[in-house]
Structure 1
Amino acid sequence: MTSHSTFPKLSHSESDSELPLTEGSLLDFPSNPIAVLRRLNAEHGEIAGLQDGAHRLFFVFGPKWTQRVLSDARTFHSRFFALRGGKRSPQRRLTSGLLSMNGDEHKQHRRLVMGPFQKQVIGQYAEPVTQLVTEMLDSWQVGETRDLHEDMTHYMLRVTSALLFGLDEPELAYQIGAMLDEWIHMNHEIGMGAFIAGKQFTDGYDELMTLGKTLEQEILGMINLKKSRGASGSDLLSLLIQAHDQGVKIDDGNLVGHVALLFGAAHKTTAHTLCWTIFLLTQHPEIMSELWQEIDTLVEQPSPNLGEIENLSVTERVLKESMRIMPASGYSQRIAAEPVDLGPFRLRRGEPVIFSQFITHRLPEIYQEPNAFLPDRWRTLSVSPYAYLPFGNGPRMCIGAPLAMMILKITLPSMLKRFRFSAVSGSEVNGAIRSTMLTPLGELPVTLHEPDGQFDQNSVQGNIHDLVKLPIQTQPAAKPSRKAA
């Protein structure tokens, strides 16, 4: 395998000691993204560079420069996966979906893929989501201690697989979903090798190519199965096949790429949001109490219907604040498609720009008490769409945002209707950005109780205290009055 370093080399005349550059190893960034992001923002402010010899990474923080990068899709291209493989390889086809398309091709396919994500369509997905969350909760018992990280990852694997492939072949859908999850993880783990030549990034390349070949065969098998049955379902794959049958130009290679990248954008991001939201609630009894009272009052059945979730204002604020302070995507990137000036820098074609939700969502000039979990800030706070961007923004804003919010607004109330959650006292809770996502490291243990409204806070250890300002342990929150039976 050849080196995947694509950084243009700088001549000495292009070096400038006045530029907001920090000298260091580019390997520091994938090793500890949060530390590097914080350091560069503290040293240089809203725009910075990390220089390692002849190579550089660029970083933008805050709404001004984030908007500059995200709004100019012609100059700053998306490359969801850095390792594309050969032109005729399965890896190339798998990584050629919407999130890796640019220019006119992206516009055309975005219009196509938007179809299954229209508001009038996503309502059809409420029933399977409700079915799957009910199945999960039926398997839980009061008194158990559960690993929230494992449970939410497994749950969202089933949800994402079902919405992509349907419920008619649940085990096959789950099998392909699990394979997709492994493939996506490998892409992110060794993908930095596309920018940084290093043995640790290149050793797994052949293994990734082999997995990609098997994965493509499995997805094509599902496509052929759907076609043989008339593709009459409401799952995303069936809807895309139906669009093809109605004259929209999309071949099987496009379908493979769209399926792979839609799964990659949806699965763990939503799982991590559920994890962090439940954990934050266990550490804020007063907020948990207010949320539970809203759900207990307004949600009649074990899970909310589409009409009810529109009225859950506390739920809306809790989720919005959770996605601010612990955004599922800690950072993402764009690639300069041509030479371009970005603030004090002159970028060459192929150079990457990192933008960070984790840093932008915590800038004190935008958010008061930025490291505190304060859902009520959203009663009055109004910020730029480039200052709050859990789903990105601009012409490439996540098309699945409404669907993700529907899943969250069904799942969270369903969980809180069935159980009261408490963190395990003294447990180790750690988080880090891995594969661009802000993920729990290891277990996230919670104990299940009857939904009795007796919320309290158990103290925990770990680097979570470096990520969120948790309140000093307080007395249990007063039990709210329940609605009449």
Structure 2
Amino acid sequence: MAWTVPGPKSTPIVGTTGNTFRFTQDPIGYSNQLFQDYGPMVSLCEQGGTNLFTPFEKCPGTVIVHGPDLIRQARTPHSQWNLTPLSMTLYPMEAVSNRKQPLKHFLVGLWGVNGDEHRLQRRLMMPAFHTRHIQSYWQDMVNITQSSLSHLRPGTTVNLVEETRLLAMRIVTKTLFGEDSGKAGQGVGHLLEQALAVLSQPLTTLMPYDIGGLPYRRFLNLIACFDREMRGIISAKRARQSKDNDVLSMLIQARDEETGISLSETELLGHVGSLFAAGHETTSLALGWTVLLLSQHPDIAADLMDELGAVLQGDPPRLDQLDQLPLLERVIKESLRLIPPAPFTWRYNNQIVDLGGYSLPVGTEVYCSIYATHHMPDLYENPNCFDPSRWERINPDMWEYMPFSAGSRLCMGAAFAMMELKIVLSIMLQTFRMEFVPSVSVDRYGIITIAPKNGLPMHLHHPDRNFTAGVGGVKGNIREMVQLPA
């Protein structure tokens, strides 16, 4: 069927590859420009033929949309829209050699299953993410946060992104696998983090050849090592019939009440990898962006410290105190609106569908811009303004505000992430005042997540409440996203 969604022409000489390259270099900036030129629904290339994430041999093309109505249509009914594994185009649809066998389950999890299989596996996983079980991780989160901050000293400058990355990795490996990777970053969590870093390199997907010197070979080596380590951990937990509190132990024990079905070893491998990917980098980035925003908004930072001081009095938060910190929650929600760590969600249609007045062939990729939706002035007054107080006046629905996705694919770890953000931020902010050092340009980068390309240098001070110090001077395309002092 004919491709009719409007969009830019293919790039001279390199064709649709050029359109794809421009998107991958700056997904937010390029898609926002396309929205300005063509409206809320646009094709990456006017004749289709682009392929960003589906692993199929042929893809009709890629469509990018924003706005609650179009996103809802591109997600419901659930039966019409599918997801693919987080390894995207590297996921092998055909039989593979033993060398590439880990690719069959690496980062599959709930992303790589659809329909009845998705519903069954999600049902098996739900007890591990029940509120009472999530709350049982409170002490681990407190202990790891305090341990991670213990080596930092006032008067020094740190890359906040690196510090929050290590901290979040320790929390996710402890709660997911039952092991603390330690300050140096060791164990299966470190292996998985390295594999994800190599996967994010454009050359890994552009040149997927198992040849020395190419990142794809290193990627295969890392996931093979992770595979071996995780199989050993699963085997050991099963042998001792582990009743441990970590998520993996609970997934091993899970049984469907109706059928008695449990998760296979390969399904477990797929879930732990994808849960780590979803819950590690996004949380660390949310922490970094939130601290940056507070460093540039002294009045909000002062009010927040007043709240933390009144309720916590310098101590880590108890579980019952988390609900007594409404401004902290509003600050986090506003940060996730302005700079959602995962700015896009995506699907492909498994049947011909009508979307925004256009008929889409089977297999069309649809990228939904959470970022652009969160910045719509029709939904959020002064959308580029960091204004936590707006959450006292507004109550957007799940398609208008979706930092954790929405609908039947709502992130199962959303409550876990919010608890972690509250605990870590409340301890960090009471331990140090962090002053941004404008020595680097704060530019966004990343395809799946929004990260500061050059890190976030922060000078650490005792909590002296000198919140106006370091305000202003921020450079980079962060200023396209957020109103900041000059």
Which TM-score bucket, shorter chain as reference?
0.7 to 0.9
Match of 2:243 in 1: 232
Once the two structures are superposed, the pairs formed by residues 110-149 of structure 1 within 5 Å of their partners are 110-149=122-161
Q: CA deviation at 1:139?
A: 1.2
Match of 2:56 in 1: none
Q: CA deviation at 1:412?
A: 0.3
Once the two structures are superposed, the pairs formed by residues 212-223 of structure 1 within 5 Å of their partners are 212-223=223-234
Give the counterpart letter for 1:241 in structure 2. I
Match of 2:8 among 1, 22, 26: 22
Is residue 190–residue 201 contact of structure 1 (8 Å, CA) maintained in 2? Answer: no
Give the counterpart letter for 1:84 in structure 2. Y
Match of 1:476 in 2: none
Q: Structure 1, unaligned stretches of length 5 or more? A: 1-9, 473-485
Farther-moved stretch of structure 1 (367-376 vs 284-293): 367-376
Q: CA deviation at 1:114?
A: 1.3
2:328 is the alignment partner of 1:352: no
Match of 1:50 among 28, 44, 47: 44
CA deviations on 1:218-248 (whole Å, 9 max, x unpaired) are: 1111112222333121111111112259944
CA distance in 2, matches of 1:209, 1:446: 35
CA distance in 1, matches of 2:28, 2:209: 20
Q: Structure 2, unaligned stretches of length 5 or more? A: 11-18, 50-60
Match of 2:83 among 67, 71, 78: 78
CA distance in 2, matches of 1:301, 1:457: 22
2:265 is the alignment partner of 1:259: no
CA deviations on 1:249-270 (whole Å, 9 max, x unpaired) are: 2111111011011111110000
Match of 1:369 in 2: 382
CA distance in 1, matches of 2:119, 2:456: 40
> 1:336/1:206 Cα in 2 relative to 1: closer, same or farther (>3 Å)?
farther
CA distance in 1, matches of 2:359, 2:200: 27
Match of 1:180 in 2: 192
> 1:271/1:104 Cα in 2 relative to 1: closer, same or farther (>3 Å)?
same
SS at match of 2:324: coil
CA distance in 2, matches of 1:237, 1:263: 11
CA deviations on 1:62-94 (whole Å, 9 max, x unpaired) are: 100111112322111111331213546211122
Is residue 190–residue 200 contact of structure 1 (8 Å, CA) maintained in 2? Answer: no
Match of 1:470 in 2: 484
Match of 1:210 in 2: 221
CA deviations on 1:376-404 (whole Å, 9 max, x unpaired) are: 11111122211110000010000000000
> 1:124/1:451 Cα in 2 relative to 1: closer, same or farther (>3 Å)?
same
Is residue 81–residue 100 contact of structure 1 (8 Å, CA) maintained in 2? Answer: no
Match of 1:461 among 460, 469, 475: 475
Match of 1:67 in 2: 72
CA deviations on 1:109-150 (whole Å, 9 max, x unpaired) are: 001111111001111111111010010121111111111011
> 1:159/1:191 Cα in 2 relative to 1: closer, same or farther (>3 Å)?
farther
> 1:45/1:315 Cα in 2 relative to 1: closer, same or farther (>3 Å)?
same
Give the counterpart letter for 2:348 in structure 1. I
Q: CA deviation at 1:449?
A: 1.2
2:30 is the alignment partner of 1:36: yes
Is residue 330–residue 358 contact of structure 1 (8 Å, CA) maintained in 2? Answer: yes
Give the counterpart letter for 1:461 in structure 2. K
Identity of aligned residues (%): 31
Farther-moved stretch of structure 1 (55-64 vs 267-276): 55-64
SS at match of 1:22: coil
Counting matched residue pairs gives 453
Match of 2:14 in 1: none
2:288 is the alignment partner of 1:275: yes
SS at match of 1:430: coil
Give the counterpart letter for 1:229 in structure 2. R
CA distance in 1, matches of 2:461, 2:323: 27
CA distance in 1, matches of 2:172, 2:300: 29
Q: CA deviation at 1:429?
A: 3.7
Match of 2:298 in 1: 285
> 1:431/1:279 Cα in 2 relative to 1: closer, same or farther (>3 Å)?
same
Is residue 282–residue 421 contact of structure 1 (8 Å, CA) maintained in 2? Answer: yes
Is residue 26–residue 52 contact of structure 1 (8 Å, CA) maintained in 2? Answer: no
Farther-moved stretch of structure 1 (182-191 vs 75-84): 182-191
CA deviations on 1:187-223 (whole Å, 9 max, x unpaired) are: 3445995xxxx55899644443333222211111111
Q: Please report the RMSD computed on the Cα atoms of aligned residues, expressed in angstroms.
A: 2.4
CA deviations on 1:274-318 (whole Å, 9 max, x unpaired) are: 000001000000000000000011014521011001110000000
Match of 2:58 in 1: none
SS at match of 2:163: helix
CA distance in 2, matches of 1:217, 1:172: 22
CA deviations on 1:328-375 (whole Å, 9 max, x unpaired) are: 001121111222221233222222100111111101111111111111
Is residue 330–residue 433 contact of structure 1 (8 Å, CA) maintained in 2? Answer: no
SS at match of 1:181: helix
Match of 1:477 in 2: none
Is residue 432–residue 439 contact of structure 1 (8 Å, CA) maintained in 2? Answer: yes
Give the counterpart letter for 2:224 in structure 1. K
CA distance in 2, matches of 1:221, 1:149: 31
Match of 2:171 in 1: 159
Q: CA deviation at 1:100?
A: 1.6
Report the TM-score, using the length of structure 2 for normalisation. 0.88
Q: CA deviation at 1:464?
A: 2.1
Is residue 48–residue 62 contact of structure 2 (8 Å, CA) maintained in 1? Answer: no
Report the TM-score, using the length of structure 1 for normalisation. 0.88
Give the counterpart letter for 1:121 in structure 2. H
> 1:199/1:180 Cα in 2 relative to 1: closer, same or farther (>3 Å)?
closer
CA distance in 2, matches of 1:169, 1:138: 16
CA distance in 2, matches of 1:44, 1:311: 45
SS at match of 2:241: coil
